[in-house]
Amino acid sequence: MRHACLVVVFLGFAGAVQAADGELTSTLKDQKQVAVTIYNQDLALVKDTRLVSLARGDNRLAWRDVSARIRPETALLRNLSDPKGFYLVEQNFDFDLLTPQTLLDKYVGRKVRVIKTNPATGAETVEEATVLSANGGVVLQFPDRIESHPPGRLVFQAVPENLRDRPTLVVSLHAPDGGGEELELSYLTGGLSWKADYVAELGAKDDRLDLNGWVTLTNQSGTAYRNAKLQLVAGDVNRVREEVSYAMDGRIPMPAMAPAPRMKEEGLFEYHLYTLERPTTLAENQTKQVALLSAARIPVRREFLLRGADYYYRSSAGDIGQKLKVGVFVEFDNDGHGLGVPLPKGIVRVYKKDSAGNAQFVGEDRIDHTPKNEKVRLKLGEAFDVTADKKQTDFQKLSGTSRYNYVFEEAFQVVLKNAKDEAVTVKVLEPIPGDWEMLSESQPHAKEAANAAAWKVAVPANGKATLAYRVRVKY
């Protein structure tokens, strides 16, 4: 059995990618400026300005190196230098890119040359054949036979007109005067995304933190944006849903970095716009990070929280749990100390130095878009040394025949234990359903909401404290 490799040869390739006859081509060499505005939702607005030499009258312009994820219906080409009498006739987005496979597909039914080399003598023979199929391999018809996967090299005379090596927008336009014109192409595209990541370091006493914000940019749009003016929009912009959804996950580890100048921020309609003060390059298939903000010694509040559930207020529960986990939260105000600016949604990763001065990871949480003067609350994990035992000590059904007119009276006991060498305060938050009345309690509660009672219980170092209460619940 004969095994050989079929090699595809592109004849006249350099001239073919320039354009078809009478077609003008604009490349990145013509680019004077590019501006990219990226939104949170895998969406970006690109404004590409180039100096293009046009002929007088009708032109067919191939604008190369547009995004492969361009939404062609949003493309708008404007003449910035001489708009009078300038107008567009037609535009086409050629996204069928040149590869050996697509070239074979375009040549189905057409003739190619097959060059074979004698391995013993090195002599070459040339035959002409017609491409019958390129699906799962090439099938060629020679004058006297049909071969599948023939050995040798295929030689093509030209690249088909609608097959391009880069994503290209082809525009038919009319220019009243010839010569160099400054044209701007703007369009919406997918494949560009950004997200905010924050690195926070807690102080030794857990009452201060330093915060650095970074923007992670990901470019999977199919082209590069060199020395681009970069702007980011934070907010939930409404969009008509496409039939095809492109999902991306650009999650990468975030190291702690030195602070850098923050991005300029301003309001934009009901959103917020962040502008990088210097140009930056977004290479194709690249993820990069730029500084967003930096703030030092932000006052923080630490909270231990034991959150209950409403199901055990409806029936006899008995022992609810032993060594229940107590959540650990930190909270700070976005109002000064280097902050006081809108914070885009993202993940906040928190570190703290150990006794040797090494920063250790202590937890992370996701924040939503946060306006200035709002609180930022982060859950870092569950406390190791602070636990709780909870049980229902009494349950009585006072009246009622259905779930809509029951009256229950019940009592609970919560024992909080602290193995730390310092005293802590634990917030016990109970979601109590129905119409409820607190009958007795070992310490006063705060009614935080219609269905929520909260106690702040002081627990001594290496000790414990008990919270007991009785409540009547009507449904």
Instruction: Assign residue 450 the CATH number of its domain.
Output: 2.60.40
Scored b (16 or more CB within 10 A) or e, 107-142 reads beeeebbbeeeeeeeeeeeeeebbbeebeeebbbee
pLDDT for residue 201 is more than 50: yes
Nearest one of 88, 315, 269, 283 to 192, comparing CA atoms: 283
**Are the CB atoms for 155 and 113 separated by under 8 Å?**
yes
| Calpha distance 35→45 (Å, rounded) | 8
**Which amino acid is located at 148 in the chain?**
S
Looking at per-residue pLDDT, the higher value among 307 and 237 belongs to 307
91 or 416, greater pLDDT: 416
- Please tell me which residue, 267 or 200, carries the higher pLDDT value: 200
CB 353 within 8 A of CB 416: no
Across the chain, what does the average pLDDT equal?
Answer: 87
**177 close to 55: Cβ distance less than 8 angstroms:** no
Kindly tell me if the per-residue pLDDT of 177 is higher than 70: yes
d(CA 439, CA 363): 39
Q: Which amino acid is at 102?
A: T
pLDDT number for residue 447 = 95
Q: Where are the alpha helices (DSSP H) in 182-221?
A: none
266-280, 320-334, 355-369, 419-433, range with the lowest pLDDT: 266-280
Q: Between residues 157 and 213, which one has the greater pLDDT?
A: 213
* Span 36-76, pLDDT tens digits: 999 877 899 999 999 999 999 999 999 999 999 999 999 99
pLDDT band at 239 (very low <50, low <70, confident <90, very high): low
Does residue 307 sit in the same domain as residue 431?
A: yes
Measured in whole angstroms, the distance separating CA 475 from the mean position of its chain's CA atoms is 45
Domain that holds residue 228: 192-298
- Region 402-429: what's the mean pLDDT? 93
- Rounded CA-CA distance 278/301 in Å is 36
Cα–Cα distance measured from residue 286 to residue 106, given in angstroms and rounded to the nearest whole number:
32
Last residue of a domain, one of 282, 298, 314: 298
pLDDT of residue 248: 34
Model confidence at 268: pLDDT above 80? no
Does residue 359 fall inside a structural domain? no
Q: Looking at the DSSP assignment, which residues form a beta bridge with residue 58?
A: 174
pLDDT at residue 253, as a whole number: 36
| Same domain membership, residue 107 and residue 40 | no
Q: String of b and e for 221-259 (b: at least 16 CB within 10 Å)?
A: bbbbbeebbbbbbbbeeeeeeeeeeeeeeeeeebeeeee
Whether residue 424 lies inside any domain: the answer is: yes
pLDDT value at position 235?
Answer: 77
Q: How many CB atoms lie within 10 A of CB 55?
A: 14
- For residue 15, the 8-state DSSP code is H
Say if residues 6 and 104 touch (Cβ distance below 8 Å): no
d(CA 309, CA 429): 9
Into how many domains does the chain fold? 4
The residue-averaged pLDDT of 274-279 equals: 88
pTM for the structure as a whole: 0.71
At residue 240, the pLDDT reads 65
Q: Are residues 225 and 321 in the same domain?
A: no
Cα(161)–Cα(445) distance, rounded to whole angstroms? 78
Tell me which of 110-119, 386-395, 419-428 is least confident.
110-119
pLDDT value at residue 203: 93
- Tell me, yes or no, whether 388 lies in a domain: yes
pLDDT at position 327 is: 96
| Same domain flag for 322 and 466 | yes
Whether 263 and 125 share a structural domain: no
Cα three-residue angle 190-193-198, rounded to 5 degrees: 170
Yes or no: say if 414 and 292 are a contact pair by the CB < 8 Å rule.
Answer: no
Same domain, 84 and 168: yes
User: Does 266 share its domain with 379?
Assistant: no
Residue 78 in any domain: the answer is: yes
What is the average pLDDT across 99-127? Answer: 89
Looking at per-residue pLDDT, the higher value among 270 and 214 belongs to 214
**Is residue 256's pLDDT more than 70?**
no
- Which span out of 282-296, 329-343, 441-455 was modeled with the highest average pLDDT? 441-455
* 148 domain residue, yes or no: yes
pLDDT at 9: 47
Q: What percent of the chain has pLDDT over 90?
A: 65
User: From CA 131, how far away is CA 116, in angstroms rounded?
Assistant: 17
Strand locations in 205-262 (E): 208-219, 225-234
Task: Tell me the β-bridge partners of 349.
Answer: 199, 364
Q: Is residue 182 part of a domain?
A: yes
Q: How does DSSP assign 55-74, residue by residue?
A: -SEEEEEEEES--TTB-GGG
Q: State the Cα–Cα distance between residues 171 and 155, nearest whole angstrom.
A: 31
- Name the DSSP class of 400: -
Rounded CA-CA distance 277/126 in Å is 60
Identify the pLDDT of residue 258: 41
> What confidence score (pLDDT) does residue 404 get?
76
Let me know whether 82 and 28 are in one domain.
yes
Say what the pLDDT of residue 70 is: 93
Interior CA angle at 369 toward 262 and 454, to 5°?
120
